[in-house]
Amino acid sequence: MNKKITSLLKSKVLVNSAWLIVLQVFNTVVPLLTLPYITRVLGTSNYGVFSLALNWITYFQVIVEYGFGFTGARKVSIYGDDGLQELYSRIITARIMLLGGTYLVMNGLSIILRVDKAQYISMNILFLIVLGVAFQLTWLFQGKQDMKLIAIVNAVSRLISVIMVFALVHKEQHLYLYCICYAITFLLSATLGIELAKKKYGLKVKLSGVKDAVSEIKDGWYLFISQAMSKIFSGIGTTVLGFAATSSVVGIYSAIYKIPYIMVLFFSPISQALYPHISVKFSQSFNSGRQTCKKTAKWVIPIFALAGVTIIILRNPLISIAFGKSYLIYSIIIIPLVIWMLLSVINNFLGIQYLVASGNQKLYSQAFTISSLITVVLNVFLGLIYGIYGISIAASIGEACLTILLFLNGKKVKEKEL
């Protein structure tokens, strides 16, 4: 037993999970320390403007990320240093191409939708996030199962951002300054990550041919679709509220939503650490990968279920302490959002850890596309009729539809392989 425990503690999966959790803490929990402060300083209206702008930026962010966090990490974990510089150049070139396209789209949509001045300026400032994402190398260090240094880099960058918020943002008119403070994290972590990759692996930022970059984009298509649909899942509610409600209601929903959402973000490093390990297991044999995925799910899912129940029970004090008593009137929406959170964890095992890791990205993408269309329709229909309550319920129903589709596709794969 002692040998097993010692072996577990020394395993790369556990070590990288720990560092990814540290990274996620600084990416999520540390910024939340500013939330009670910033919601009061900016006011519900300006915080709503910021939330809407950030919501649009996350759509463009996922386009530039383009699923390389999984496809790039998978290639690095399986093939090692063979052609690493070439892969590095192809992914960066592909992201730069996507970066230019998304900036044009953002400005075009702003004109078509007649976005007001404050939101337009906020979106352009927050686009610095997308620029930083184009050069972030978490996928590289994740594939290398060497997350310690990049976690520290991101932690330092995030701390600098938080300090800047408290030091510089003091009144309602500081909306744009807050946008700068929020976005600076991504630029700092990208710059430091590039230097780290250069010193540790000898990698240099070089552009590849357009043909090679396009080939890399094609290879990541199915994962991009699934991640894009995931962003629609998490962001469509805010988008609909932007058209159907006041900026104050948007700000209130965005704040309460962060409580269950932070649990999803806490799960993200666990998912990222498990994925290369389970991918290798599937490359050895389908049954080996399936059993590893199943055993891990049995440990992880109950933990998040317990956390979800705790959040529901303590929702009133949590919301009151975090955002103020004025938010308590909407505290009930946390129940369907917690259900959404738990189903998201389950769907990660059914989708990413099982279907994608076993090479069935197409089935995963198909399920995501169908469920995302259902989610969009539900959010528009329920959101326009029932407002903040409608979009909260739509989130859990849409995620439940995805669970059913992934389960059925996983069953097909199992019958085919075993």
State how far the Cα of 182 lies from the Cα of 160, in Å rounded to an integer: 10
Contacts of 165 (CB under 8 A, 6+ apart): 34, 37, 38, 178, 181, 182
User: What is the per-residue pLDDT for 307?
Assistant: 93
**pLDDT of 232:** 64
Taking the complete model, does pTM exceed 0.85, yes or no?
no
Give the per-residue pLDDT at 20: 65
**What is the Cα Rg of the chain in Å?**
21
Low-confidence ranges of the chain (pLDDT < 70): 1-29, 31, 79-80, 222-223, 226-234, 418
CA 109 to chain CA mean position, Å: 23
Q: Name the percent of the chain lying above pLDDT 90.
A: 26
Nearest to 108 by CA among 146, 60, 70, 69: 60
